[in-house]
Amino acid sequence: MGIITLIYLVVGVLVAAAKDYFGGVDDVFDIVNILLAIVLWPLVLLGVDFSLGGGGKGGDKGGDKKNGALLLGPSSYLYLRTLIQERISKAALERQRIP
């Protein structure tokens, strides 16, 4: 790994920390948000908020997000859509079991 790559990643970590992406890591979506923020930190400085899973920045669950972005290919969207549909189905089944 070159020195420029290392500096780029260190700056990415600092930007992600300054924008509170490390606060409240609860699930895989938060980890992906952190990784996206580190690698694409110039976009974070421009105001893009990576909020995969709808959680927003790390510790800011449910906050008002004016300009979020998710930069993934079409197959990733289909995979995520399937995951979300499965979670909704499981939650509905669990609600039916509770008396």
53 CB neighbour count, 10 Å cutoff:
17
What would the two tokens of residue 76 be? 């990733």
Instruction: Estimate the crossing angle of helix 28-39 against helix 3-18, to 10 degrees.
Output: 120
* Dihedral Cα 76, 82, 87, 88, nearest 10 deg: 120
DSSP assignment of 33-75: HHHHHHHTHHHHHTT-B--GGG--STT-TT---SSB-----HH
The model's pLDDT over 14-69, given as tens digits with 9 standing for 90+, comes to 988 888 888 877 888 888 888 988 998 888 888 777 777 655 554 444 444 434 44
**The pLDDT of residue 46:** 80
Beta bridge partners of 38: none
State the DSSP code for 27: S
**The pLDDT of residue 68:** 43
